[in-house]
Amino acid sequence: MGRVLVTGAAGFIGAHLCQALLARGEEVVGLDNLNPYYDPALKEARLEALTGNAPPGAFRLHRIDLADTEALLAMMKSEPGIDRVAHLGAQAGVRWSLEAPFAYTAANVTGHLGILEGVRRSEGRIRHTVYASTSSVYGSRTDGPFRETDRVDRPASLYAATKAAGELMSKVYTDLYKLPLTGLRFFTVYGPWGRPDMAYWLFTDAMLKGRPIQLFNEGRMKRDFTFVGDIVAGVLAALDNPPADGGHRLYNIGNSRQEELLEMVSILEELLGVEAVRVLRPMQPGDVPATFADVSAMKRDFGWEPTTDLRTGLGHFVRWWRGHFG
């Protein structure tokens, strides 16, 4: 059995994926620059949690910026045991892309291209690469469910545009070099060890501290909330099944259920035993009103389907929060 390179290994989904790979006996090479987009201490804590249960030598981390192409390519060449890649590293966050646009082109365009080049230069040693895309590529829509065949040329944010660019570059590399690539469009991932910029985290923190919560679009946003455990199961299913023809594939990976942000707030109120003080705000630039995944292709090709409803998933998150923060 070879090794799996996981980019974004200290990130929310990346750390969960590393833990799942280690649990099934894989060796994992992690890559992360632990940037300060949010508190790096949380990223360090994720790494500590996943390495604490790993056998000696099963996990090692390279602290490299994806946009440092020379360092990235050198690392991929110096780790000859890597035979699969799970490329989850990216600059996330829709709203911050309005403030720091070049951080997004650096990580999501230059960084993604660096991974593709590293895979190409492996000359077939890396037999499959799964990479993270996003539901944001579908743009500002109120219909649904969204299907992989829908148009994605109307992004509502620079973040979405950079992730769509990654999909296009991947298709080009597959056509030119026959690289087996699978892109997964994640839909609003939540759960333990999550990201502090996400609504459920911000709401929980504010509610427990007696602060008001900000509800954009007056709380009428609809999201396909997807539990991180279901996401990881989908990534593993895709990683284990490379395209037979060496081609490029795209899949939605979501809960396939649309729920209002207000429903999330109501569930958190029950779980936390606190009533939220709600401040209704207008829609923010770059945000989209709704997401909704058609996941029939994931079910058809991998037998994967989500198993965690929003109430159960938020329950897992709240229990983790109380254990982590006290």
- pLDDT tens per residue across span 159-194: 999 999 999 999 999 999 999 999 999 999 999 999
| 3-class secondary structure, 80 | coil
- The residue ranges of every structural domain in the chain are 3-195+225-257+292-307
- Residue 80 binned pLDDT confidence (cut-offs 50, 70, 90): confident
DSSP states of 142-201: SS--B-TTS-----SSHHHHHHHHHHHHHHHHHHHH---EEEEEE--EE-TT--TTSHHH
The model carries a pTM of: 0.97
Task: Please count the CA atoms within 13 angstroms of the CA of 186 that sit on its side-chain side.
Answer: 26
Nearest Cα residue to 111 out of 33, 41, 189: 33
Residue type, 167: E
pLDDT at 1: 63
Give me the phi and psi of 39, to 5 degrees please: -50, 115
- Residue 144 binned pLDDT confidence (cut-offs 50, 70, 90): confident
What is the distance between the alpha carbons of residues 132 and 189, in angstroms, rounded to a whole number? 12
Which tokens hold the place of 139? 């743009």
pLDDT at 55: 86
Q: What is the pLDDT of residues 46-67, one digit of tens each?
A: 999 998 878 888 999 999 999 9
pLDDT over 80 (residue 43): yes
Nearest Cα residue to 282 out of 221, 223, 222: 221
pLDDT at 216: 86
Categorise residue 217: left if φ over 0, alpha if ψ from -120 to 50, beta otherwise: left
Task: Work out the average pLDDT over 146-167.
Answer: 96
Q: Is the separation of the CB atoms in 235 and 85 below 8 Å?
A: no
Categorise residue 279: left if φ over 0, alpha if ψ from -120 to 50, beta otherwise: beta
What is the distance between the alpha carbons of residues 131 and 120, in angstroms, rounded to a whole number? 15
Task: Work out the average pLDDT over 84-100.
Answer: 93
Average pLDDT, the chain: 95
What is the distance between the alpha carbons of residues 237 and 235, in angstroms, rounded to a whole number? 5
| 3-class secondary structure, 217 | helix
Q: What is the CATH number of domain 3-195+225-257+292-307?
A: 3.40.50.720
What is the distance between the alpha carbons of residues 6 and 28, in angstroms, rounded to a whole number? 7
Q: What is the pLDDT of residues 233-261, one digit of tens each?
A: 999 999 999 998 889 999 999 999 999 99
Cis peptide before 145 (omega within 30 of 0): yes
First to last CA, the chain: 40
- State the pairing for strand pair 181-186/128-134: parallel
Rg for the chain, CA atoms, rounded: 19
pLDDT over 90 (residue 288): no
pLDDT at 105: 97
pLDDT over 90 (residue 95): no
Which tokens hold the place of 314? 């938020």
Q: Is the separation of the CB atoms in 79 and 122 below 8 Å?
A: no
Q: What percent of the chain shows pLDDT beyond 90? A: 87
Residues noted as catalytic: 159
